[in-house]
Amino acid sequence: MKYGMKRIARLGGFGILLSGGFSLSLAAADRPNFIVILADDLGWADLPCYGNRFHETPAIDRLAAEGMRFTCFYSGAVCSPTRSNLQSGRHEARYGITQHIPGHRRPFAKLIDPAVPLQLPLEAETLAERLGAAGYATGYFGKWHLGGAGFGPAEQGWKTVLEFQKHEVPPAVSGSEGPRRAAAFLTEKAVDFIEEHRAEPFLLQVSHYAVHLPLSTTPALLEKYRKREKVPGFPCLPEYAGLLEELDTSVGDIVAAVESLGLAEKTMIVLLSDNGGLVHDQSGKTYTSNAPLRGEKGTLYEGGIRVPAIVRMPGLVPAGTVCEEPSVTTDIPSTVLDLAGLAPAEGEPLDGLSLLPLLRDPVATFPHRTLYWHLPHYHHGTPASAIRRGEWKLIEFFEDGAVELYKLSSDVGESKGLAAENPAKTNELREALAAWRSAIGARLPVPNPDHDPARAKEMEGGKRKRGVVE
pLDDT digits (tens, 9 = 90+) for 375-413: 999 999 999 999 999 999 999 999 999 999 999 999 999
Whether the per-residue pLDDT at 87 is higher than 70: the answer is yes
Distance CA 390, CA 441 (A): 24
pLDDT tens column, 409-454: 999 999 999 999 999 999 999 999 999 999 999 999 999 999 999 9
Q: Could you report the per-residue pLDDT of 35-65, keeping only the tens digit for each?
A: 999 999 999 999 999 999 999 999 999 999 9
Task: List, in order, residues 6 or more apart from 349 with CB less than 8 Å away.
Answer: none
The β-bridge relationship of strands 403-407 and 392-397 is antiparallel
The arithmetic mean of pLDDT across residues 255-266, rounded, is 98
Tell me, what amino acid is at 327? S
Query: Residues 246-274: what's their mean pLDDT?
Result: 98
Rounded Cα gap, residues 141 and 468, in angstroms: 30
Give tens-digit pLDDT for 144-196.
999 999 999 999 999 999 999 999 999 999 999 899 999 999 999 999 999 99
- How is domain 29-98+118-363 classified at the architecture level of CATH? 3-Layer(aba) Sandwich (3.40)
The full set of domain ranges for the chain reads 29-98+118-363, 373-469
DSSP 412: T
Domain 373-469 has CATH 3.40.50.300: no
Longest dimension (CA), the chain: 68
**What is the predicted pLDDT for the residue at 27?**
52
One-letter amino acid at 187 equals T
Amino acid type, 256 = A
Give tens-digit pLDDT for 188-204. Answer: 999 999 999 999 999 99
Within 10 angstroms of residue 358's Cβ, the number of other Cβ atoms is: 24
Which of 327, 309, 260 has its CA nearest to residue 37?
A: 309
Can you give the pLDDT at residue 8? Answer: 32
Determine the Cα angle at 150 with ends 147 and 152, to 5°: 50
pLDDT of residue 461: 55
Q: What is the pLDDT of residue 247?
A: 98
Is 373-469 in the same CATH topology as 29-98+118-363? no
Burial of 438 (0-12, 13-18, 19+ CB in 10 A): exposed
Alpha carbons 305 and 342: distance in angstroms, whole number: 29
Q: What CA–CA distance (Å, rounded) separates 300 from 198?
A: 41
DSSP designation for 328: E
